[in-house]
A and B are shown apart, each in its own frame.
Chain A
Amino acid sequence: NAGVTQTPKFRVLKTGQSMTLLCAQDMNHEYMYWYRQDPGMGLRLIHYSVGEGTTAKGEVPDGYNVSRLKKQNFLLGLESAAPSQTSVYFCASSWGDFGVDIQYFGAGTRLSVL
């Protein structure tokens, strides 16, 4: 049971570089999410998707873009990385409305922007 898989696990970028984080789930979940986790702060929602082909902004969307071309995949892009984007990024998925349903998380991507 793979569940939610994130790649890569670690990445170091220079300011201004771009990258894409990939999230894949094998549970046929409709909803998918991207969070960032910073010391002393709770998990904060960046973007989310309620189904294939849909995306929406969360609490901290600036500097990030997302795409959900296939139901099982949710991509998070950083077009021009900044040191403030140094964080641990988590992807999650759920069957339905995330106010009610359990979210299943990946193992995270640790990103450093120098």
Chain B
Amino acid sequence: EDQVTQSPEALRLQEGESSSLNCSYTVSGLRGLFWYRQDPGKGPEFLFTLYSAGEEKEKERLKATLTKKESFLHITAPKPEDSATYLCAVGGSGTYKYIFGTGTRLKVLA
């Protein structure tokens, strides 16, 4: 069964304390893995797309990596404004298959 699991569900960090969020997936024929950021009361906002194992992308304090079974979102020296829910989604082969994880709620304390 196709599945996306994100961990941890919630994470509290001190400002400057680096950490990683995990997205484990099982999908037939990965076509793309997406990371989104969602602020309270708003829609998801695109961060990264990864298409093949070994690929990495960076944006400011965020870096996304991809293996054949999971993706990590590394947050280096986070700031309070990085507090949000981070969503992972995978696109699989077949009929428009696109599965979201339940997200990781990140809180960065000043």
Contacts and interface: CB of A to CB of B under 8 A. Distances in A.
B59 interface: no
Classify chain A's interface size.
Answer: 20 to 34
Interface residues of B, number: 26
B43 A99 contact: no
Interface in B17-40: 31-32, 34, 36
A43 B43 CA distance: 11
Given A42-B4, A42-B103, A45-B98, A99 B46 contact: no
Given A56-B96, A108-B42, A102 B49 contact: yes
B93 A99 contact: yes
14 contacts: A48-B96, A50-B96, A56-B96, A90-B44, A92-B43, A97-B31, A99-B31, A99-B91, A99-B92, A99-B93, A99-B96, A100-B31, A100-B51, A103-B34
Interface of A: 4, 40-45, 48, 50, 56, 58, 90, 92, 97-108
